[in-house]
Amino acid sequence: MLSDKNDGPDGDGTIDFVTGPTNGTKSGGWSIDTLAGLTKVVITLKAGNGFGAFLLDLTTPDPLSGTWASTKGLSHASIYYNGTPTIVPLPAGALLLITGLAGLGLAARRRNKRQPV
């Protein structure tokens, strides 16, 4: 699935370039905003009549950025992924926090009703 392209609004935006490769250059860096819980993310680079696709190595310390070099000027770069993005669930602790705050609010309300005016 196409997620982002450095020279257009193409893709679904699941993963976006934060710093995209610059078209026309022969080397540079790139960075993306997230892996969105995906394990198969590919950065593609097209330069001249050459094309390269690079599966991100998620075992590296920073799989969200990298560098590239080519003998020809870059035409465009894209991000593709395979799979379904993981929706991050609300942590169980947040539910406990909300319940606790509601309980404190009810206790304060009861206390205020009991006090004579």
**Cβ 57 vs Cβ 63: under 8 Å:** yes
Residue type, 3: S
Q: Residue 16: its pLDDT value, please?
A: 93
The whole-number pLDDT of residue 96 equals 75
> Which tokens in the block code for residue 105?
């609010």
pLDDT at 107: 84
Q: So what CATH class is 2-88? A: mainly beta
Residue written as token pair 């006090």: 115
DSSP string for residues in 2-38:
EEEETTBS-S--SS-EEEPPPTT-SEEEEEES--TT-
- Sheet of 17-19: strand order equals 17-19, 27-32, 65-69
Which pLDDT belongs to residue 4? 94
Specify the pLDDT at position 66: 92
pLDDT in tens, the chain (117 residues): 999 999 888 899 999 999 989 999 999 999 999 999 899 999 999 998 888 999 999 998 889 999 999 999 999 999 999 988 766 666 667 777 788 888 888 888 877 776 665
Take residue 2 and report the two structure tokens written for it. Answer: 């196409």
Max CA separation in the chain (angstroms): 85
Residue partners of 8: CB distance under 8 A and separation at least 6: 76
pLDDT given at position 83? 85
Compute and round to an integer the Cα radius of gyration of the chain: 24
